[in-house]
Each structure stands twice: as C-alpha cells, then as structure tokens.
C-alpha cells in the first residue's frame, strides 16, 4: 500500500475533478506484477493501468489500491468491471470512495465473489486527497484564501502599489501552491487595477504545462485586453457577486479546489459566507502605517467575536513568515 500511495503522489500529475490514485498488483506468489497511477481526467484509472502492465499475470492477483475502485461509467468505464474481467480475486483498498456517483465498488466486488479488504493506511490516503475528499463530501470546491501583508496588516500602500509586499521566495512558494489547485479566483477590481496574469510559473519564471482555470468574479465590465483573458490559460467570467453562486458554477465546471487571490472585498465576502476552508498568509517584515487592508469588514465589532485560525503550520519563507491554518 505504501508503494501505491507513492505512485498516487507522482509529481506533475495535473489536478482536476479526479483524485490521486495508485495501484499495485500482486501475483499469485505475492510478488508485484504490475503497477499504475491515475494521470489525470480522461486517462486510465490506476487499476486499469496496473492491469495493462501485468497482462496475463493479473489473473488470480491481488489489487492493492489507495481508493476504493469506482463503480460507475464516466470518461472511462468502471474499475470494478476491469478488475473482474482481468481475473483479480482480491482487492485491498485504503480510503472508501466519498464520491456519491462512483462509490459502491467494494460492495459490488464482494457480491461478485472478490475478496475485499478496506481501510489499510486509510489516514495516509485521506491526507493525500484531503481537498478532493472535502469537495466530494460538501459538493462544492474547497477554498484556499491566500494573501500577503506587511507586519502592520497592509496589503497595499496608500498610492495603491502592492508590488511587492512579499519576497521573491514567498512568490515562488505561492506558485507552488497555485499549482496544487485547479482554479485561481479574483474579483473584477483586482483585474481592473492590478491586471494580473494569474498563471503558474516555476522558479525560473517559465509557465508550467498544466495551468489552473483563471476565474474572474463580479458584474463589472472589463477590457478584453486584460492579461487574465489572454491565451496563456483558460479563463472564465463568473457574473455574480454571490460566493455561493460562484462556487456552484465552478462545481458545474468540475472544479474542486479554488485558490482565492482576490482583494479585500472579495475575501471578506467569502469569509462572511463561511466559504473559506484554508488560509495561507505571508507576513513580510515591512511597515507601511497606512494603506489597504488584506480583508474588508467582516462584521466583527468586539475581540471576543474575532475569527480564530486553527494553525496547521508556521514556516519561514525567505525573510517572510507563512502561516497556514483553518478558520
């Protein structure tokens, strides 16, 4: 199972509507005969890839897979059918499938006479797909809100300049986190004022081959020459100011992880709606004394009502401090 988890976590696999899954087939003598992992939407699932690698040796084999085999037809056929056709007689999986449309694989396999064991290293598998699992359970995208401020809480100076609050190291780290999402979301004001490119680049400023969707939320009309609308990545206008409506539309577009990088008004709207699931804040060792805050009014009027983060990690990134947590 640890080998299957390692396969599932293979770097470079584009994120999207599907989870990360790895599979190892053990032959009748207990030795590995094939392995595979899911390479992105529309490609063979991990079980199918492992069966193809094993060939005839899959008959009588045990499939060790990080997620309960799917039992539905989407872009590809059900893995339960593929395992039975290949002659696999035992399936060991880690995490039960939370996807309502695809679950039930373990029950179907058991009904067909396959020996099924679940829950092996389930916590490790859940951690690997924590965002996707959250999205499946809540039926909406997971939202990460990222922002950078000075030590006195300013995200821009009084003249509106915000480049750069944080260090090059923090900006590189932001691109790494962006690459783990499938959508970057900003408001129309950010596009109008800052004209961000909103692509994911490596440490050498080279665009990565797989780019998240660039979503722009709001009713304001924008010039067509804004960089977010160029051909470097897919773009989508969300003609609403309602965070619930925006996430519902993104869900219909099969988006599961939103990286919120909008300004203070958009950030406040999502926080007040209870739709921020994770916060990533970069605190730069700078002082402005005045300027724009990272977030607008949250409706909090007294300290006892302040929203507190459950902090998961505090790290030093270059000269900055990165705080990561949940509200």
Positions marked catalytic: 47
Q: Which residues of 232-241 are buried (b: 16+ CB within 10 A; e: fewer)?
A: ebebebbeeb
Residue 265 annotated in ligand binding: yes
Q: What is the largest CA-CA distance in the chain?
A: 71
Q: Are 165 and 196 in contact (CB under 8 A)?
A: no
- How far is Cα 211 from Cα 14, in angstroms, rounded to an integer? 8
User: Would you give the end-to-end CA distance of the chain in angstroms?
Assistant: 33
Q: Is 102 annotated as a binding residue?
A: no
269 assigned to a ligand binding site: yes
- Count of H-run helices and E-run strands, the chain: 10, 15
Q: Is 110 part of any known ligand binding site?
A: no
Q: Is 263 annotated as a binding residue?
A: yes
Contacts of 225 (CB under 8 A, 6+ apart): none
Neighbours of 226 (CB within 10 A): 17
Q: Is 86 annotated as a binding residue?
A: no
Is 162 marked as a binding-site residue?
yes
Q: Is 79 annotated as a binding residue?
A: yes
- Is 70 labelled a binding residue? yes
178 is in an annotated binding site: yes
Alpha helices for the chain (secondary structure H): 2-8, 46-54, 79-86, 105-111, 122-128, 130-138, 168-178, 188-194, 243-252, 264-272
Q: Is 45 annotated as a binding residue?
A: yes
Binding residues for Zn(2+): 45, 70, 79
Binding residues for substrate: 162, 178, 198, 201, 261
Binding residues: 45, 70, 79, 148, 162, 164, 178, 190, 194, 198, 201, 261, 263-269
């Amino acid at each position: 199972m640890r080998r299957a988890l390692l396969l599932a976590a293979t770097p470079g696999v584009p994120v999207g509507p599907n989870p990360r899954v790895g599979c190892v087939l053990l032959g009748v003598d207990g030795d590995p005969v094939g392995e595979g992992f899911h390479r992105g939407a529309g490609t063979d699932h991990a079980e199918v890839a492992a069966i193809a690698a094993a060939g005839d040796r899959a008959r009588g084999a045990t499939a060790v897979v990080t997620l309960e085999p799917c039992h539905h037809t989407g872009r590809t056929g059900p893995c339960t059918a593929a395992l039975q056709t290949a002659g696999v007689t035992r399936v060991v999986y880690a995490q039960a499938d939370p996807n309502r449309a695809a679950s039930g694989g373990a029950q179907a396999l058991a009904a067909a006479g396959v020996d099924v064991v679940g829950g092996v290293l389930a916590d490790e598998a859940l951690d690997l797909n924590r965002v996707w699992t959250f999205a499946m359970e809540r039926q909406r995208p997971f939202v990460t809100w990222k922002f950078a401020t000075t030590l006195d809480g300013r995200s821009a100076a009084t003249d509106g300049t915000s480049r750069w609050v944080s260090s090059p190291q923090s900006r590189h780290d932001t691109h790494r986190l962006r690459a783990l999402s499938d959508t970057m979301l900003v408001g129309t004001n950010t596009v109008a004022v800052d004209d961000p490119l909103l692509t994911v680049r490596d440490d050498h400023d080279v665009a990565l081959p797989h780019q998240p969707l660039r979503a722009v939320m709001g009713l304001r009309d924008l010039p067509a020459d804004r960089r977010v609308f160029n051909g470097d990545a897919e773009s989508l206008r969300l003609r609403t100011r309602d965070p619930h409506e925006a996430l519902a539309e993104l869900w219909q577009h099969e988006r599961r992880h939103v990286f919120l990088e909008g300004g203070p008004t958009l950030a406040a709207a999502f926080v007040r709606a209870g739709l921020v699931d994770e916060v990533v804040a970069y605190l730069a060792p700078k002082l402005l004394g005045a300027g724009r805050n990272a977030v607008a009014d949250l409706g909090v009027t007294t300290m006892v009502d302040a929203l507190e983060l459950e902090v998961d990690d505090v790290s030093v990134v270059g000269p900055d401090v990165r705080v990561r947590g949940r509200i």
